[in-house]
């Protein structure tokens, strides 16, 4: 079975540029999560969706960050304009509904470097 | 709010040594508890879980028991291998929230 697919795996860009990260969740999963991982802050939940609707975006650090889920099989996380402090690994994860005990399945992440 | 406190790392062990990584939690209600593992350059993978008190999760020789009385979920393995070198995260989902609350992670290095 295909897992959560993220692209690109690596992104290097200059500050001020727009960055778009992409995620394809596991088919049939109706929850999708975006996380950011840094050495200083560890894993932070940025936003999550249920049935393509954003449920909680309280973790989104600033208005420069936005996330969309236009359909059940695709989500984007956009940073505009990007800053060096946005450098991190960004993970997407998905899970099923039903029992809230269901684990989240993570993609391999996008390593973002803003110069 | 809910929180998870994990043993500070890094932890360095010799192959075949016994491993314990401590994890305690604070949560309202009765959370489900998880251990995730992250190998270098990869995303997090679920290692094991426990959904109620006294449950024992186990996988790949790792075990953890949900202890409500001590609000703990310590990870153990009797004999570690070099291939177990990774970062281990304790996490919980509490109440009706879908949000995983993670600990800070513990880096484990196993030397041959």
The 3 state secondary structure assigned to B56-91 is EEEECCEEEECECCCCECCEEECCCCHHHCEEEEEE
* DSSP character at residue A25: P
Q: What is the pLDDT of residue A22?
A: 98
Residues of chain A contacting residue B51, judged by C-beta atoms under 8 Å apart:
101
pLDDT tens string B9-53:
899 999 999 999 999 999 888 889 999 999 988 889 999 999 889
- Put simply, the answer to whether B105 touches A101 (Cβ < 8 Å) is no
3-state secondary structure of A86: helix
Q: A8-17, A35-44, A68-77, B77-86: which range is least confident on average?
A: A35-44
Local confidence band at B99 (pLDDT 50, 70, 90 cut-offs): confident
3-state secondary structure of A85: helix
In the block, residue with structure tokens 């491993």: B19
* DSSP character at residue B15: T
Residue A115 has pLDDT above 60, yes or no: yes
- Give the integer Cα–Cα distance in Å for B30 and B82: 35
B36, B44 in Cβ contact below 8 A? yes
Size of interface A-B (CB pairs under 8 A): 48
Using CB atoms and an 8 Å cut-off, which of residues 4-43 of chain B contact chain A? 32, 34, 36, 41-43
Average pLDDT over residues B53-71: 96
A52, A42 in Cβ contact below 8 A? no
B105, B9 in Cβ contact below 8 A? yes
C-alpha distance from B87 to closest chain A C-alpha (Å): 11
Residue A69 has pLDDT above 90, yes or no: yes
Q: Of B36, B51, B89, which is closest to A101 when you measure between CB atoms?
A: B51
Tokens of A34: 């975006």
- Give the integer Cα–Cα distance in Å for B105 and A91: 15
> What is the pLDDT of chain B when averaged over all its residues?
92
Q: What is the pLDDT of residue B82?
A: 97
Q: What is the pLDDT of residue B100?
A: 82
* DSSP character at residue B40: T
B15, B107 in Cβ contact below 8 A? no
- Give the integer Cα–Cα distance in Å for A102 and A9: 26
* Higher pLDDT, residue A55 or A2: A55
Q: What is the pLDDT of residue A99?
A: 56
Residue B95 has pLDDT above 90, yes or no: no
Residue B103 has pLDDT above 80, yes or no: yes
The sign of the CA dihedral B95, B44, A23, A111 is positive
């Amino acid at each position: 079975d295909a897992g959560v697919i993220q692209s690109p795996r690596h992104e290097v860009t200059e500050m001020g540029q727009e960055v778009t990260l992409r995620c394809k969740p596991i088919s049939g999963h109706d929850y999708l999560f975006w996380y950011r991982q840094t050495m200083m802050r560890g894993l932070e939940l940025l936003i999550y969706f249920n049935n393509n609707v954003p449920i909680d975006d309280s973790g989104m650090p600033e208005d420069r960050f936005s996330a969309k889920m236009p359909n059940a099989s695709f989500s984007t996380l956009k940073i505009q304009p990007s800053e060096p402090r946005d450098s991190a690994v960004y993970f997407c994860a998905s899970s099923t509904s039903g029992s809230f005990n269901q684990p989240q399945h993570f993609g391999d992440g996008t390593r973002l470097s803003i110069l | 709010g809910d929180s998870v406190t994990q043993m500070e790392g890094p932890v360095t062990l010799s192959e075949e040594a016994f491993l314990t990584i401590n994890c305690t939690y604070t949560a309202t209600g009765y959370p489900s508890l998880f251990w995730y593992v992250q190998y270098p350059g990869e995303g997090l993978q679920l290692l094991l879980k426990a959904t109620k008190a006294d449950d024992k999760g186990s996988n790949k020789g790792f075990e953890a028991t949900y202890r409500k009385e001590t609000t703990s979920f310590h990870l153990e393995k009797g004999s570690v291998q070099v291939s177990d070198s990774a970062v281990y995260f304790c996490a919980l989902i509490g109440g009706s929230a879908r949000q995983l609350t993670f600990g800070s992670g513990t880096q484990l290095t196993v030397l041959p």
